[in-house]
């Protein structure tokens, strides 16, 4: 579990941004996590993968590409390396999500073990092979990063995610990962004053509709 959801997962995801645009990260990272989770849930747990759910995943991915706007089609010669890293991270997280359900691991125990083993295994590597940026940053910045990255993102968010797995199921829980770029776009309106264009707005709608369809929600006949 530590390999799938710990520092290896984060290194794959973060290193990908060194090669590929952020829009690629949104599509090939959180965007493909529901797909990999659904596939692993089908293989390991025997969950059904109906045409309706597959169609929902396709619509969701289409919406994410539209949400990425022109940035998705911007590329560099090494962008494929970043895309592969994003896909690897998504596959790791999808397998972690399914194994939490398959092994019936307590959510708090799982997060605690992943966090502890990640700290023990990565801390020596960090000081040996990387230049510790924390010593150059201000105390206020370090405290903020500790609270935001450690408590909120690495702690509370992951705990809530793992708690949702036995309740909603791994495939449905993973669908909410696709909402990361959606919320990022929406938060950009009041915080950065950035308004999404027509294509990006349509992408948000498609992501939501695709997520609902992939959950198995059937729309009324008059809307089909």
Q: Number of folded domains in the chain?
A: 1
Question: What does the pLDDT look like over 2-45, one tens digit per residue?
Answer: 899 999 999 999 999 999 888 788 888 888 999 999 999 999 99
In a domain, 224, yes or no: no
Q: Could you tell me the pTM of the whole model?
A: 0.87
Tens of pLDDT, residues 93-139: 999 999 999 999 998 899 899 989 999 999 999 888 887 777 888 89
Residue 35: inside a domain = yes
Domain span at 81: 2-217
Q: What is the share, in percent, of the chain residues with pLDDT greater than 90? A: 46
Residues 80 and 221: their CA atoms lie apart, in Å, by: 42
Residues 6+ apart with CB under 8 A from 9: 3, 89, 92, 93, 96
Asked whether residue 179 is domain-assigned, the answer is yes
| 223 found inside a domain | no
- Tell me the mean pLDDT in the region 213-221: 71
Token pair for 113? 């073990």
Mean pLDDT for the stretch of residues 201-208: 90
Helix 158-168 / helix 107-129 crossing angle, nearest 10 deg = 140
Q: What is the pLDDT of residue 218?
A: 63
Distance CA 160, CA 126 (A): 28
With both helix axes pointing from N to C terminus, report the angle between 33-40 and 51-68 in degrees, rounded to the nearest 10.
Answer: 160
- Confidence class for position 69, pLDDT limits 50, 70, 90: low
Alpha-carbon span 9 to 153, nearest angstrom? 14
- Write down the residue that tokens 């493909």 correspond to: 32
Tell me, yes or no, whether 81 lies in a domain.
yes
Instruction: Let me know if residue 88 belongs to a domain.
Output: yes
Any alpha helices (H) in 103-197, and if so which ranges? 107-129, 139-145, 158-168, 170-175, 179-192
**Is residue 100 included in any domain, yes or no?**
yes
**Over 60: is that where the pLDDT of 222 sits?**
no
Please say if the pLDDT value at position 61 is more than 70. yes
Residue 222, domain member (yes or no): no
- If you ran DSSP here, which 8-state letter would residue 137 be given? S
Rounded CA gap, 24 and 74, in Å?
9
- Residue 55 C-beta-side C-alpha neighbours within 13 Å: 8
SS3 15: helix
Residues 182 and 185: their CA atoms lie apart, in Å, by 5
| Separation of alpha carbons 134 and 39, rounded Å | 39
């Amino acid at each position: 579990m530590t390999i799938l959801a710990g520092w290896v997962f984060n290194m794959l995801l973060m290193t990908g941004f060194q090669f590929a645009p952020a829009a690629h990260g949104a599509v090939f990272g959180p965007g493909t996590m529901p797909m990999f989770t659904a596939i692993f849930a089908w293989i390991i747990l025997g969950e059904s993968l109906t045409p309706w759910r597959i169609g929902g995943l396709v619509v969701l991915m289409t919406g994410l590409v539209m949400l990425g706007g022109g940035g998705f089609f911007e590329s560099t010669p090494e962008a494929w390396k970043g895309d592969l890293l994003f896909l690897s991270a998504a596959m790791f997280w999808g397998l972690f999500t399914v194994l939490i359900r398959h092994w019936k691991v307590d959510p708090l125990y799982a997060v605690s073990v992943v966090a502890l083993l990640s700290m023990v295994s990565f801390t020596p590597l960090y000081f040996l092979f990387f230049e510790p940026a924390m010593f150059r940053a201000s105390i206020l910045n370090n405290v903020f990063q500790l609270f935001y990255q450690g408590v909120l993102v690495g702690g509370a968010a992951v705990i809530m995610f793992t708690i949702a797995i036995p309740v909603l199921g791994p495939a449905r829980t993973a669908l909410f990962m696709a909402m990361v770029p959606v919320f990022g776009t929406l938060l950009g309106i009041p915080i950065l004053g950035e308004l999404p264009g027509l294509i990006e707005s349509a992408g948000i709608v498609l992501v939501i509709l695709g997520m609902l369809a992939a959950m198995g929600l059937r729309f009324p006949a008059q809307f089909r």
